[in-house]
Amino acid sequence: MSDNEPIWQVNVDGKIYETDLEMLKQWIAEGKVGPTDPVRKGTLSWIAANRAPALRGAFPVGDSFSSSPNRASTIGSPSALQSPLAPKASTAAAGPGGDPIPAQPGASACHNHPELPPDYVCRICGATFCKDCPQFVGSSRIPTCPLCGDMCIPVGEAKENEATTARQVTAGPSVGSNSSFGLGDFGRALRYPLKHPLGLVAIAVFYEFLRLGGIKTHLIALSILFACLSLVIKQIAWGRFERSFIPDFNDFSLADDVLGPAVLGLGTALVTFGPFLMLLLAILTGWIGTGAPAVAGAPQAQIGPENSPLTAEDLHTLINSENPEKDEATMKKLQQLHPAAQAKATIRESTPPSQADSMMEIARPLLNSTGLVTALGMLSLGWALVYYPMALAVAGYSEDFWSVINPMVGLDTIRRMGLVYAKAFCMYVGIQTIGFGLVIIVTAATAPLALPLLGNLPARFIGGVITFYCSLVVACILGLALHKCAGRLNIPTD
C-alpha cells in the first residue's frame, strides 16, 4: 500500500479492516466482503459496499444487491483467518468521528465509548451506541447508525422485538420461507407501513407536493415512490422484516437514488403497457385492417341501371313509352351524356378528398376489423393487469433494467412461485380496488374545498397518502411472496 493512496476501511461482522482499493476488490471477488458491508475511503462517511462508486463494478451482476448469509462461516474458517483479511492487532481503526473503534464491541456498551451504557441499537448491523453517537438527519430527531446509515432504535424497543421474535419461534414458524402464504401475511402487509406513521405521512405529502409541479418534478416523485417500493421488496425478500421503507439519504446519489429508480420504473411501464401502446400505434398507422381503404371520389363500378351504357333498346322503349320506370332510367342516361354532366364528373374526380373523407378512409379498416382490435385490446390490457405485480417484484429484487424488460424472467418467476403468486395477485387487486374507492370517496367529500386554479388540494394530499400506503402494502405483499419462495428462486435470506 503506497503512502499517497487512500486507505479503505470495511466493517465485517463488527470488525474493522484497513486495506487499499485493489485488495478490497480482491476480498469482494473472494466473497469475504458482502455487498451490504459498510465501507469508507479515508475519513468519508460509511456506505454500503455496493453503493460505493469505486466498487460499483466489483460485485457480480447477480449478487450486486444480495446478501450472503453463510459468509460469516467462511470468514471464520481457518483458511480465511490466514488470508489478508485480518484485523490489526496493535491499533484500532478510527471511526467516523475520529474516536477509536474497538475490534469487538460488546452489546452491553457503546460501540465508540465502552465505558458508557448503550441507549440505541442499529437494526441492521446491531451496533450499540450511547445517546451522543448516533447521527441525526437534518433537524429531525431520528437517530441513524454512523456505521451503516440505517435507523437506530432504543435498546428497550430492541429487547421487546427480540422477545416477540422468541415468542414467534416458540409458537412455530409463521413468517419463514418454508411456511404457507396466506391471510396472515396479508395482515402483516397492512400493518407494515403503519410502523412508521410519521415517516409515511411526511414522504407521502412530499411525494404529492412534487406532483403539483411540472414533468420534471413528476419524474422525481415517481422515482421516490419506486425507490421506496424497490427497497421494501428487496429487504423483505431477504427476510429483513423490520427494515424501514424510507431510503437512506445520508449518502445521497443522483444516479442511485433518482435515475436508477426512474429507469426501473420506465422498464416496468414498458414491459406491462408496451403491448397496448404497440396496438395503439398499429391502429393509428393503419397496420390493422381487413379491408383496403377506399379512395374517396374515385370512379367505382356501380350496378345501378342508370350507370349502364345507353342501348338502342332503351331508346325504343323511351319512344314507345312502354314502361315508366325504364323511361326514367333512360332519361338519366341521356342526362349523363350531356356535356355539362360530363364536365361535372371530371371536376369531381380531380378534386382532392375532403377531411371527412380522409377520416373515413382511416376509420373504414378499423370498422372492418372491430373484433380483432377488441380482442387484441383485451389481451394487452389483461397482460398489463396480470403482469404488473411481477414486473414490480422483478424490479425490486433484481434492480436490473434488462431483467425488468425481459418478460421471460417474470414468467419464469411466476412459474416457480405457482399458487403463491396467484394469492399475491388477488391481494394486489383487492388493495388497489380499496385504495381507488377511498380516493374517490375523499375526492367527493372534499369537493367543496376546491380552490380556483389550485384545485382540490386536500383531496390530492390525502389521496397521496392513501396511494403511498397502498403502494407500500403491495410492495410488502410481493416481498413476502418472494421470501416464501426464496428456496425456489435462489434468493438469499437472513
In this predicted structure, what is the pLDDT of residue 358? 61
182 secondary structure, DSSP code: S
Q: How many Å apart are CA 333 and CA 348, to the nearest integer?
A: 18
Across 40-62, average pLDDT: 71
Q: How many Å apart are CA 26 and CA 21, to the nearest integer?
A: 9
In this predicted structure, what is the pLDDT of residue 295? 42
In this predicted structure, what is the pLDDT of residue 427? 92
Between 180 and 415, name the one with better pLDDT. Answer: 415
Contact 230, 395 (CB under 8 A): yes
In this predicted structure, what is the pLDDT of residue 93? 38
| Secondary structure class of 252 (helix, strand, coil) | coil
pLDDT band at 15 (very low <50, low <70, confident <90, very high): confident
In this predicted structure, what is the pLDDT of residue 279? 82
Report residue 28 as a C-alpha cell.
469482494
In this predicted structure, what is the pLDDT of residue 133? 86
389 pLDDT more than 80: yes
- 380-404: string of b/e by CB count within 10 Å (b at 16+)? beebbeebbbbbbbbbbbbbbbebb
Q: Report the mean per-residue pLDDT for the chain.
A: 73
Contact 26, 58 (CB under 8 A): no
Q: pTM for the whole thing?
A: 0.52
Burial of 378 (0-12, 13-18, 19+ CB in 10 A): exposed
Beta bridge partners, 8, equal 19, 41
Contact 190, 482 (CB under 8 A): no
In this predicted structure, what is the pLDDT of residue 429? 92
Q: What is the DSSP string of 98-145?
A: S-B--SS--TTS-SS-TTS---EEETTT--EE-TTSSEE-TT---EE-
Dihedral sign of CA atoms 12, 14, 17, 20 in order? positive
pLDDT tens-digit map of 434-443: 999 999 999 8
Expressed in angstroms, the distance from the first to the final Cα of the chain is 35
94 pLDDT more than 60: no
pLDDT band at 352 (very low <50, low <70, confident <90, very high): low
pLDDT tens-digit map of 238-295: 887 877 777 766 666 666 667 777 888 888 888 988 888 888 887 777 666 544 444 4
Maximum average pLDDT range among 71-75, 112-116, 229-233, 472-476? 472-476
pLDDT tens-digit map of 142-178: 677 888 777 788 887 766 666 554 544 443 444 444 4
Nearest residue to 19 (alpha-carbon basis) of 68, 83, 73, 84? 84
Give the CA count within 13 Å in the CB-facing half-sphere of 361: 13
Q: How many Å apart are CA 123 and CA 196, to the nearest integer?
A: 14
126 pLDDT more than 80: no
Q: How many Å apart are CA 275 and CA 273, to the nearest integer?
A: 6
In this predicted structure, what is the pLDDT of residue 307? 56
Give me the count of residues in the chain: 494
Across 472-484, average pLDDT: 90
Maximum average pLDDT range among 89-98, 321-330, 363-372? 321-330
